Amino acid sequence: MTRASAAFGPPEPSAEPGSGMEPDEKNRSGCRSTGRAGIARRLVSGMLATCCALAVVPACAQAASASSVRVAPGVVRPGETADEADMTRRPTGIDAEFVDKASIVGRAQLQASQLALDRSSNPDVTAFARRMVDDHGRVASALRRLGAQKGVPVQARMLVDPAVSALRIKQGRAFDIGYVQLAGPHAHEAMIRLYEAEAHSGRDPQLRAFAADTLPMLKAHLTAARQLAQTVAAAH
């Protein structure tokens, strides 16, 4: 080393041949390139995650809608036919009132007629009572099944009607007259009005059809009940 070199310190490092820049400048340029590449990778990863999340949300919402969303009465669920909706919809208003009243009057008819089979000695009364037990028994069973299907279960256990309890203490001709008053023309006229109202104004198609199908039987009962009333009134 010459005396001049010692005075001014070691020589500066020279640039790489053909690079056109100093070493420190080249290092800074490399760091900037690496930083930009990392930012780009992070942006791409974030966009992919967002797209995946957006794709999953509609699928989850669609799956939840079928089971957790309440459907208003009268609205058909997706994939459900109108007939299926009618079969499962709970009756309201006139339909629910019909199920309740029809079960009550039908129960009174059955109880009174079963009692007549045990107590009356008049063959006309017992023949009419047998017909009432058979026919109204079938109607009661059909109404009970339909009510259960609609979510309005008809009371299976038959509570004793107060009018039937009063009929129990009567005997002979007094019993026959009391039975006709309880299960005869007046009772069947009331039942026909009830069933006609449902057949004409009910909202539930199945209950309307049930009422309409039962009406011919009730009208035939009314004719027979009027005849029985005349027979019992004429008996001595």
Give residue-wise pLDDT tens across range 26-77: 455 454 555 555 555 665 455 555 544 545 444 444 444 444 444 444 444 4
Type of residue found at 229: A
Distance CA 191, CA 71 (A): 35
Type of residue found at 96: A
pLDDT digits (tens, 9 = 90+) for 199-216: 999 999 999 999 999 999
Report residues of the chain scoring pLDDT below 50: 1-20, 26, 29, 31, 44, 51-52, 54, 56-78, 80-88
**Residue 34: its pLDDT value, please?**
52
What does the radius of gyration of the chain's CA atoms come to, in whole angstroms?
A: 45
Q: How far is CA 207 from CA 87, 100, 210, in A?
A: 10, 12, 5
Across 154-227, the runs of DSSP E, i.e. the strands, are: none
Query: pTM for this one?
Result: 0.62
Distance CA 212, CA 217 (A): 10
First to last CA, the chain: 159
What DSSP state is assigned to residue 202? -
**Residue 35: its pLDDT value, please?**
55
**Residue 221: its pLDDT value, please?**
98
What DSSP state is assigned to residue 151? T
Longest dimension (CA), the chain: 162
**Residue 82: its pLDDT value, please?**
44
92 Cβ neighbours under 8 A, 6+ residues apart = 73, 203
**Residue 154: its pLDDT value, please?**
73
Q: How far is CA 170 from CA 86, 115, 179, 233, in A?
A: 46, 11, 10, 16
